[in-house]
Structure 1
Amino acid sequence: MPQVQNNMPTMHKKMSVLIYQDGLSFYIYSSTGIEKRIFKSFKHESNPIEVLQEIENIYDIEEELNQSFEDVTLIYHHSIFSGVPGSVYTENLKSDYLKYNVRLLDTDIISTDETIETIDYKTVYIAYSNINNYFFEKYGDFNYYHYSTLALKKHLSEIDLTRSEIILDIKTSHFYISIFENGKLILHNCYPHQAAEDILYYTLFTAQHNQLDPETMDLKIIAETKNNTIYDLLYTYVREVSYVNDSNSYIENILCV
């Protein structure tokens, strides 16, 4: 594929862009670590056209984005996805995996990430064609994934293979629940939240539905900032609750692939 010409010299830097419906996160990093973080929150959940407008506005302001990068990665963080066992996945049926959960448009690009072989999990999701085209025109070749794929790979490297674990990965307006039992993925989904009670409800509901005992399961929270209200509410009903040590580094390891 053709590469976009840029007057600035190519730096041995990489960039990951987290794209969600109510914000954007840019991470510029190299082998020595993260060198620049740029965050943008939206006033409301935005459609792909509005998200692209925000991206263009950021590029007009942030000069550091207008350089060549060794690698560019887009990471879609939204609830328009489904997990499918890789062993039964069929390429020409990929729209069927989503159509019962979301209204699909003719312009939607249905994408898949590589199967995570150890748990036989494949993410099927919508990638925004206008945003993909924008980054291709600016940088040429780039990689893109759904956040779920990268997060599950990271979780697998950290979980205890001898017990049941629930991992809550909390973002501003949504959070992911991942349930592992002896290293096997039992559930992975994304839910909206406006209050701590929403997180409690979905956590207890999914635990009960999957026959997990709040007295024995291990509940871990990943969040950019610790929220005592969420912790105290969960701890009222679950015996073992903890925040992942250095959650920011944990999240950055997911994003900076």
Structure 2
Amino acid sequence: MPQESNIHIQFKQMSIQLNLGGLSFCIFNPSLSCIESIYHLPLPPTMPLLVVEKELQDYLKNERALCQDFDTIKVIHNNQDFAFVPEKLFASEHLFEYLKFNVQEYRNQIISHDTLEQEGMINVYIPNASVNRILRETYGIFEYEHFTTLLLKVLLMHNPQKKPAVYAHFEKGCFHLVIFKEGKVAFFNYFTFEEPIDMLYYLLFSLEQLSMDTEVTPIYLLGDIIRNSEEYYLIYKYVRFIYFLPPQKSNPFCQNMDPTLARMNFILTHTF
């Protein structure tokens, strides 16, 4: 009798990040334990929804690397329609109540939530339902979370004891600011800015409100920021200890990537 084969075909894994300006795709090859490729599909925020859907459908059909089978797919929704709620105060029947001060316009969208059990927090947010639908039609079942949920998980990996520290994740014209103090997440906010000096004001004002000493407390930078940028020089002028957050040790496949590329796609590459 022929013996049953125990060979398991190991497909690649993919993470997809939905930003306000488009989508990013990251393919991980588990056989080689490395990030194989990263793709970006720019979709301006002003683009009509029907055009966005058509552009995405065409891109998924024509980009050969995205047409293969994947073992797992993780979708990350990155928008400002989110709110962290203490688990003790959370009630699933009041989801919109937690978002009413964060969401400019609400049209009966789907509201989802992620649980951070370690912190006793719930992240309530509005995912991009139309993009989720297209991805589901293309790939079938997948998991999704909000960007800020994953960001906080990564920062807790870097600072599990929650020592006093500041983390700033930059994107074009905005940044997430996370502050640890007294063994807890003391601050988490999202700021938009037109000029770098506005960014500096938000940063220093937030630190002042929490009585954080800029001569002692380190700040870690990640996302779309480089050393030769005005944002970096402004922060360097007022904060004594400034670092770029390195890839986590549990993700060795990021170690050989171009540092700027890895930093710009920090959360996207830390989902595997």
TM-score, structure 1 as length reference: 0.86
Q: Which residue of 2 aligns with 1:12?
A: 11
Distance 1:74 1:253 in 2: 9
Cα distance, 1:121 vs structure 2? 2.0
Instruction: Report the AA paired with residue 223 of structure 1.
Output: G
Instruction: Report the AA paired with residue 256 of structure 1.
Output: T
Q: How many residues align?
A: 247
Instruction: Report the AA paired with residue 34 of structure 1.
Output: I
Instruction: Report the AA paired with residue 15 of structure 1.
Output: M
Is residue 84–residue 121 contact of structure 2 (8 Å, CA) maintained in 1?
yes
Distance 1:255 1:45 in 2: 29
Q: Which residue of 2 aligns with 1:90?
A: 91
Q: What's the secondary structure of 1:78's corresponding residue?
A: coil
Cα distance, 1:104 vs structure 2? 4.3
Alignment of 1:145-160 (within 5 A): 145-159=145-159
Moved more, 208-217 or 65-74: 208-217
Distance 1:155 1:142 in 2: 24
**1:134–1:155 distance in 2 versus 1, CA, 3 Å:** same
Q: Which residue of 2 aligns with 1:81?
A: 82
Instruction: Note if 1:27 corresponds to 2:26.
Output: yes
Cα distance, 1:160 vs structure 2? 6.8
Structure 1's unaligned 5+ residue stretches are: 1-9
**1:156–1:174 distance in 2 versus 1, CA, 3 Å:** same
Distance 1:47 1:81 in 2: 23
Q: What's the secondary structure of 2:70's corresponding residue?
A: coil
1:215-239: CA deviations, max 9, x gaps? 2221111135514322211121122
Alignment of 1:19-58 (within 5 A): 19-31=18-30, 32-46=33-47, 49-58=50-59
Structure 1 or 2, whichever has the larger Rg, is: 2
Q: Which residue of 2 aligns with 1:251?
A: 266
Distance 2:121 2:49 in 1: 27
Q: Which residue of 2 aligns with 1:110?
A: 111
TM-score, structure 2 as length reference: 0.82
Cα distance, 1:65 vs structure 2? 1.1
**1:30–1:86 distance in 2 versus 1, CA, 3 Å:** farther
Cα distance, 1:11 vs structure 2? 5.7
Moved more, 205-214 or 247-256: 247-256
Q: What's the secondary structure of 1:113's corresponding residue?
A: strand
Instruction: Report the AA paired with residue 28 of structure 1.
Output: I
Distance 1:245 1:103 in 2: 35
Cα distance, 1:143 vs structure 2? 0.4
Q: What's the secondary structure of 2:93's corresponding residue?
A: helix
**1:49–1:103 distance in 2 versus 1, CA, 3 Å:** farther
Cα distance, 1:195 vs structure 2? 3.1
Cα distance, 1:252 vs structure 2? 4.9
Is residue 13–residue 71 contact of structure 2 (8 Å, CA) maintained in 1?
yes
Distance 1:209 1:168 in 2: 16
Distance 1:134 1:61 in 2: 15
Is residue 160–residue 183 contact of structure 1 (8 Å, CA) maintained in 2?
no
